[in-house]
Structure 1
Amino acid sequence: MQLRCVECGATFAPELIYRCKTCGGILEQLGHDEVAPFSFGEGRTPLLRASRIEASLPGFSGEIWLKDETRNPSGSFKDRLISAALGRAIAMGVKGVVCASSGNAGAATAAYAARAGVPAIIIVPAHTPMGKVTQIAAHGAVLLLVEGHYSRSYDLARALAEEHGFANLTTTFINPYAVAGLTEVGSEILAQLGHAAPSHVLIPTGSGPLVKGVWQGLLDAGATTRLVAVQAEGCAPIVQAFEADAKQVTAWGMPETIASGISDPLIGYERDGTYTLRLVRESGGLALSVSDDELRAAMRSLARLEGVYAEPTGASPIAALPRLVTEGHLPAGARVVCLITGHGFKDGRAYQEMPARTLRVEDPKNTVAVAKLCEEAMREHA
C-alpha cells in the first residue's frame, strides 16, 4: 500500500502526512491498507426504493433509491472515514486525535475515540447546531468552539496536528486513509443493485470526499456512474466553478444556509473543491445547488413519504431531484441513488418550524370526538 498524489503522481510510504511533499497536492491511498479499521459496526447501510418520492415527481420515469447512511453508529456517513483513519492512527501510536468538523465528523470522532480510549479534540464553528454539539460533548471529547466559518476550524486542527503531534482526522481530503474508507459506499451500492450500476448518484458535497469514495468504489468494481454534487445555494463554490466552466474552484465567503454539513467555503484548501470538480466532470455528471426552501421541502418529503428522518444536508439530494427532472438530466429509465448522509436528530430545527398534525385532547374518554379531530386533520394534510 502507498500514498499517491492525485496531481503530480509522486508516491510515498504509508505515514501520517496530509499533503504531497513534492507539490502540496491531495494524497490518495493506493491498494488495500493492511491496518484494520477501528470498527464500530459502520457500513452495510440499507438501500431503500423510494417509490412514493418517484410518484411525486411529475415527468419522472425511473427508479429512486435512498442509500441511508443515517444508520451508521453515530448517525452519519462520517463513521466510515473515522473508522479507517482512527485504525491507522492507533497503529502509528499517536498520542491523540484532532478533527475539525461542521458537526457530524466531530460526533463520529468523539464516539470512536471514546470507544478506543484515545484522547480527542473536536473543533467546530460556534454556530454548529446544538444537536451535533451535544452529541460531541456527550462522548467526553475536548470541544473547541471557533467563531466564524468552518475553514477557521480547519486551520486550527491542521496547526494542532502539525505542531503538537495529534493525528488529523478532519474529513476533507486531508487524511487519505479516511477518504479510502468511503470506497465501500460505491461497492455497496453496486452490490445492492444486483451489480447493475446506477445511472446517477446524488451526493451532498462540501469539499467532496464522498464524491471520490462513490466514484472509486464503483471504478474498482469495473463500473461507473454520473456523479451529481449537490451543494447549498448559500455555500456553493464547486457549483460556481462548474457553472462558469472554470478549471479551478475559488473559495466562498461566509456560508448562509441551514445545511450545516455542507457549509464549507474551502478557504485555504480550494484544491479539494477543484479535485471534486474534476471527478464530477470525468463522470459526465454535474454540480448544482439547492435553496433552503427546497431543502425544507425535501426534508418533509423524506419524512412523510418515505419515513426517513434526515438533517438538511442529508435531504439535499432529494431537493435536487425536481430540477434534475425538469431540466432533462434524468432520462426515462434512470436509476438514481440519493445519499442520505445524516440523521435528523443532528439538526431538527427545520422540522420544528414545519406544520404538524398535533392536536390537544381535552377529554381522552370521548373517543368519538377524538376520532373526528383526527379525520379532519388527515383531510387537511392529504
Structure 2
Amino acid sequence: MKLKCVNCAETYPPIMIYSCNKCDGILEVFYEKKDLNDLNKEHLEMNKVNTMWRYSDRLSIGDDDNIISLYEGGTPLHFSKRYKSELNFFKGELYFKDETVNPTGSFKDRLVSVAISKAKEFGYNKIVCASSGNAGASAAAYAAKSGIDAVILAPQSTPKEKVIQILAYGATVLLVKGHYSNSYKLAKELSERHNLCNVSTTYLNPYGTDALKTVAFELNNQLKGEVPDYIFIPIGSGPLLKGVYQGYNELVQSLGNIGATMPKLIGVQAEGCAPIVSAFENNKEVVTAWGESNTIASGISDPLIGYEKDGTYTLKLIRDSKGSAVSVTDEEIKKAMRDLSQFEGIFAEPTGAASLAGFRKLCEKGAINSSSRVACLITGHGFKDMKIYQEMENGLHYINDISDLNAFL
C-alpha cells in the first residue's frame, strides 16, 4: 500500500500527507494488484459481520487494535415497489442504499471511522474537521470514542440539529461566517499551524476517502454480483462518487466476474450550488468554483473555492464511468423527501434525497432506459434537518374537544 497522486502519479509511503508535494494533486491510497484479495472470501469476525470492517484487509489500517468503530456500514439495500410504480418504471429495478442508518446518521461515518483510526495509528491526539454538519457530527462521535479531542468548523448556516449533535459528542465547534469553503480554508490552516490531523471529508484525507469504496463492495454483495446500470450519488466535492468508482474498479481486479463493466455514475447537485454539473453540461474539462450557494441541501452546498481540483477529478470519474451530472431544484428535492418517506418509509434530509430527485428528473426526460437497474444512495437522515419537514403540508390535526373527533371522522 502507498499513496499516489492522481495527477502526476508521484508515489509516497503511507504517511499523513494531504496533497502531492510535486504538483499539489489529490492523493489516493493505492494497492498493488497482489494486495487485492478475493472479495468472495469474506472476513467475518463477530465484531465485523455487519459492518464495513468485514473488508478490513482492503482498508488502510495496519493494526486492528487501532480501529475506531461504532459499527458503521453494512447498510440495507431496499428494493422499491411502490415508488417505481409511481414513476411507471415497471420493467426496471430500483434500489435505495440507505446510509441514514449509520451510527451518526450519514455515510460520513465510513470515511471518518477510517480517518480517525489512521489518526490514532499515527499518534495524533487532536483532529480538526471542516463540515457542513454531517462530517462534523461523525468526526465528533468517533473522536469521542477514541479519546481524541475534536475541533469542528462549520458554516453559521448549518442546520441547528447538526450543530446540536456535534456539541453533544463534546467537540469544540467554531461556526464560520459564509459558505463551506471558508470553513475548509480555516480548518486547513489550523491543521498546518498546530499539527492537527485533518479529517475533513473532501479529498483531503486519502485514508478516509479510501473507505468509501466499501459502499460498492456492499452493493456487489447485496446484488449478488449484478452491477447496477446507474448509481445516483449526491455530490459536493465528490469523494463518495470516487469511492464507488474505486470500489467497482477493485472488484473488477479481484473478482474478474464483472468483466469490463462499470455502473454509470450520476452525480447529483443542487441547482443553487452546481459547479460540477455546470462544467459537465458545458463540456469543460476543468471545474470552476461556484459563487454564492443557495440551496436547502446544505450537505452538498460546496462552492469548491480553493480546491476546484476536487470537482475536476470527480468530473473526470463521471465521464470515465460514461455517466453524467444533473442538478435539481429545491422543490424537486422536497418532493423526493416526501416521496421517500411516504412511499418507501425512508426519512432523509434534503441532501440524502437529492439522488432520488436526480433519478426522477432524468427518468421523466427519458434519459434512463425503462428496463435499467438503478441504485440511489440515500446519504443522510431526516433528523439532521427538521426545518424543511416542519414547513411541509402534513396530516397533523388538533382535537380540542372529543366531539370534534366525531366531526372529523
1:364-379 equivalences under 5 Å are 364=402, 370=405, 373=408
Name stretches of at least 5 consecutive residues in structure 2 with no aligned partner: 32-57, 253-257
In the TM superposition, residue 328 of structure 1 has moved relative to its aligned partner by 2.5
TM-score by length of 2: 0.89
The one of 279, 303, 316 equivalent to 1:241 is: 279
Contact kept in structure 2, 1:77 and 1:341, CA below 8 Å? yes
The answer to whether the Cα contact below 8 Å between 1:35 and 1:87 also exists between their aligned partners in 2 is no
Q: Work out which of the residue numbers 230, 236, 241 in structure 2 matches 1:206.
A: 236
Structure 2 counterpart of 1:350: 388
SS in structure 1 of the partner of residue 267 of structure 2: strand
- Give TM-score scaled by structure 1 length: 0.95
Of residues 399, 405, 408 in structure 2, which corresponds to 1:361? 399
1:379 corresponds to: none
| CA displacement at 1:106 relative to structure 2 | 0.1
Aligned residue pairs, count: 371
SS for the counterpart of 2:393 is: coil
CA RMSD in angstroms, aligned pairs only: 1.3
Contact 1:26–1:174, Cα closer than 8 Å, also in 2: yes
* Deviation (angstroms), 1:51: 1.3
Letter in 1 for 2:99: E
**Which amino acid letter does the alignment assign opposite residue 257 of structure 1?**
T
Aligned equivalents of 2:220, 2:291: Cα separation in 1: 37
**Distance in 2, Cα, partners of 1:326 & 1:95:** 51
User: Could you tell me which residue of structure 1 aligns to residue 164 of structure 2?
Assistant: 134
Structure 1, unmatched stretches of 5+, are: 375-382
Q: Which residue of 2 aligns with 1:5?
A: 5
Moved more, 141-150 or 320-329: 320-329
Q: Which residue of 1 aligns with 2:19?
A: 19
**2:119 counterpart of 1:89:** yes
- 1:117-266 alignment runs, 5 A limit: 117-222=147-252, 223=258, 224-266=262-304
Distance 1:331 1:161, change over 3 A: same
Structure 2 counterpart of 1:380: none
Residue 75 of structure 1 is matched in structure 2 by 105
> 1:377 corresponds to which residue?
none
| Structure 1 CA distance for aligned equivalents of residues 407 and 342 of structure 2 | 22
SS at 1:64 equivalent: strand
- On the 8 A contact 2:89/2:371 being kept in 1, the answer is no
The aligned residue for residue 352 of structure 2 is 314
Letter in 2 for 1:213: G
Name the SS for the 2:4 alignment partner: strand
Identical-residue share of aligned pairs (%): 51
Describe the superposition over 1:59-90 as per-residue Cα deviations: whole angstroms up to 9, x where unpaired: 66311100000000000000000000111100
How far is 1:58 from its partner?
3.7
- The answer on whether the counterparts of 2:5 and 2:28 sit within 8 Å (CA) in structure 1 is yes
Distance 1:35 1:174 in 2: 23
1:282 maps onto 2:312 in alignment: no
Q: Which deviates more from structure 2 when the two are superposed, residues 231-240 or residues 22-31? A: 22-31
Deviation at 1:332, TM superposition (A): 2.6
Which aligned segments of 4 or more residues in structure 1 are displaced greater than 4 angstroms?
Answer: none
